[in-house]
Amino acid sequence: MSGSENAIELNGLTKSFPGVRAVDGLTFSVRRGEIFGLVGPDGAGKTTTMRMLAGVLAPDEGSAVVAGFDLNRDAEGAKHHISYMPQRFGLYEELTVDENIRFYADLFGVPRREREERSAQLLQAAGMAEFRSRLAGKLSGGMKQKLGLVCALIHTPEVLLLDEPTNGVDPVSRRDFWRILYTLLDQGVTILTTTAYLDEAERCHRVALLHEGRMLFCDTPANLKASLPGAVLSIVCADPRPVRDLLAGMDGISTVMIVGDGLHLVVRDPQRMIPELRSRIAAAGLSCDAIEQVAPSIEDLFVEAVQGDKADHGGER
């Protein structure tokens, strides 16, 4: 492997499917030992990007270097150093937990002793030690994903590619999952993960926001938040829809979105805005509880960015 400090480099990576440009000139790089998050709504091109980086899908244009291998020239060489966990469960349901682990260990040429040590350790960390002889098809969703991770880690990959690994996984399993990921970082493994959970994106060293195949931002979660033009106000209310409709498009508000307990607004001047909002909502005969400034989340940022992107590119489509 060359002395490059980047484990993954994308350069104008592009892939089209009939009628869609799934990935459109993507350029970014992931440093060694970094955990990097790809965030974006469905159809943003996350899965297509991951497939190309895993060497299972050929790009139309551009190039990618993973673990020192140019995928256009030697994708098979890179596969010795990559572990890829597809979005859809990719293990054999008719095989037991142990049999699946053994299969993947054999494909990567892991010696028996090492396999036994590692699988015991990983299964322990995943809280699955007592399910070794259970058929993979009989595991819960969270268990399946953790088994996928165990199989992906049975050899020592330089690069771990995870496509929505915690989608539909219960909170306990998600915690196990992330704990394992952090121990990997200590071992110098580079992790690229896509996620639909924005709280998970905030656990990454850096994130890239994808929208319609293009990258909107790429920075640390903290820097991204700092780059938000304005501040975020949270309005707690029982029935947020009419309030949203009322406030959307109001002067000084760039984004209104519904969150768990009410609304989030991105505004230019939060202190002046709060009383104005209260009176507006009351005048319309609606009600709300607290209105306060909160720290922006990736989600706020993302929605704001997507709206800006739409304004910029709206004319093209």
Partner 1 sequence: MMNWNRLCAMARKEMIQIRRDARSIGIVIAMPIVMMFAFGYGVSFDTKHIPVYVYDQEKSQQSQDFVKRFQASVYFNVVRTVTSYPELVRAIDKGDCQIGLVVPPDFSKKLRSGQKVSVQAIFDGTDSNSASLGMSYTEAVAQAHSQQLQLEWLQGRGQGQPRLPLSVDARTWFNENLESMVTIVPGVVAMVMAVVGTFLTSLTVAREWERGTMEQLISTPVTPLEIMLGKLAPYVMIGLADTSLCAVMGVWWFGVPFRGHIWVFLLSTLLFLVVVLSLGYFFSVVAKTQLAASQISLIATFLPAFLLSGFVYPIDQMPTVVRGITHVVPARYYMAILRNVFLKGSSVVTMWQDFVGLAIFAALLGLAATRVFRKKLA
44-83 residues near partner 1, rule: CB under 8 A: 51, 54-58, 76, 79-80, 82-83
Site mask for partner 1 (CB under 8 A), range 145-174, x = bound = ---x--------------------------
**Alpha carbon distance 131, 32 (integer Å):** 33
Least distance CB 17 / partner 1 (angstroms): 8
Least distance CB 9 / partner 1 (angstroms): 19
**Alpha carbon distance 44, 209 (integer Å):** 9
Strand-strand pairing, 253-259 and 262-267: antiparallel
83-142 residues near partner 1, rule: CB under 8 A: 83-86, 88-95, 99, 102-104, 106-109, 135
Least distance CB 44 / partner 1 (angstroms): 18
User: With respect to partner 1, which residue has the nearer C-beta, 89 or 197?
Assistant: 89
Taking residue 207's Cβ as centre, other Cβ atoms within 10 Å add up to: 29
C-alpha closest to that of 257 among 313, 296, 207, 219: 296
Phi-psi bin for 19: left (phi > 0), alpha (psi -120 to 50), beta? left
231-250 residues near partner 1, rule: CB under 8 A: none
User: With respect to partner 1, which residue has the nearer C-beta, 51 or 146?
Assistant: 51
Contacts of residue 84, Cβ cutoff 8 Å, sequence gap at least 6: 50, 54, 56, 152, 161, 163
User: With respect to partner 1, which residue has the nearer C-beta, 135 or 259?
Assistant: 135
Least distance CB 56 / partner 1 (angstroms): 5
Strand-strand pairing, 214-219 and 262-267: unpaired
User: With respect to partner 1, which residue has the nearer C-beta, 10 or 288?
Assistant: 10
**Alpha carbon distance 126, 121 (integer Å):** 9
Residues that bind partner 1 (CB under 8 A): 51, 54-58, 76, 79-80, 82-86, 88-95, 99, 102-104, 106-109, 135, 148
